[in-house]
Amino acid sequence: MSEQSVIPEMPLRRRRTLWGDAWRRLIASPTARLGMAIVAIFVLGTVLAHFFWPYDP
């Protein structure tokens, strides 16, 4: 008879998703962060423009 060998269980590593990998790469890039900040400023300015100007568009 042969003895069964015990294989230690290895912890499962979470797989990287496509979106998670893209997000990590964007955050790591200073140029991408600057671009996201500029886009965020434009979006906030567009959303909040109604409160800054009392005139009808």
This prediction has a pTM of 0.59
User: What is the pLDDT at residue 8?
Assistant: 77
The amino acid occupying position 18 is L
CB 25 within 8 A of CB 31: no
Using only C-alpha atoms, what is the Rg of the chain? 25
Cα dihedral value 13, 18, 28, 33, nearest 10: -140
C-alpha to C-alpha distance for 32 and 38, rounded to whole angstroms = 10
- Residue 57's pLDDT band (boundaries 50, 70, 90)? low
C-alpha to C-alpha distance for 8 and 36, rounded to whole angstroms = 45
Q: In the chain, where are the structural domains located? A: 18-52
User: What percentage of residues in the chain have a pLDDT greater than 70?
Assistant: 93
